[in-house]
């Protein structure tokens, strides 16, 4: 492959960051994939979104099974909402789809690797592109 081809391919790779502690995202980080690790005992973390900007987007993916007491809350900030549809997978089938609108959304105790939330901003608030959970959606730490 020509050098130009390699540079082009590398430029198209998704930026990835592992998060296992509280994090405040900057607006310059739009497009990041955050691999969330709440596998440590009772590890509760908060990820704070930046001020909404039209077109900003983020993906949050649980990279390992969560501890039975570990939670992660994604916070849009005071006066802002995260809205859209969520899907919670039932153990025996029969997934539950629900409309959602809250300042916070998150992964709950004992959530499973692969749970994912994708968000995009319209410049005022955040909208859910997709949200798939193995346990109930969290809006606050237990």
Q: What is the pLDDT of residues 113-142, one digit of tens each?
A: 999 999 999 999 999 999 999 999 999 887
Q: Residue 82 to residues 30, 41, 70, 106, 130: CA-CA distances in angstroms?
A: 16, 28, 21, 11, 12
Q: What is the pLDDT of residues 1-59, one digit of tens each?
A: 455 555 555 567 889 999 999 999 999 999 999 999 999 866 799 999 999 999 999 99
The string of DSSP codes covering 70-126 is -EEEEE--TT--EEEEEEE--TTS--EEEEEEESEEEE-TT--TT-EEEEEE-SSSE
Q: Which residue has the tokens 């005022």?
A: 124
Give the residue from 99, 105, 6 showing the smallest Cα distance to 46. 105
Q: What is the pLDDT of residues 66-110, one digit of tens each?
A: 998 889 999 999 999 999 999 999 877 788 999 999 999 999 988
């Amino acid at each position: 492959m020509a050098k130009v081809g390699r540079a082009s391919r590398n430029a198209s790779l998704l930026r990835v960051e592992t998060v296992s502690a509280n994090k405040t995202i900057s607006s310059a980080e739009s497009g990041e994939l955050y691999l969330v690790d709440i596998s440590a005992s009772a590890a509760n973390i908060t990820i704070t979104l930046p001020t909404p900007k039209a077109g900003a987007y983020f993906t949050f993916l649980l990279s390992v099974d969560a501890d039975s007491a570990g939670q992660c809350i994604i916070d849009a900030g005071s006066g802002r909402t995260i809205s859209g549809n969520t899907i919670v997978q039932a153990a025996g089938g029969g997934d539950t789809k629900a409309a959602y609108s809250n300042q916070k959304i998150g992964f709950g105790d004992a959530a499973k690797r692969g749970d994912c939330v994708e968000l995009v901003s319209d410049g005022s608030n955040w909208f859910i592109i997709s949200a798939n959970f193995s346990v109930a959606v969290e809006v606050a730490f237990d």
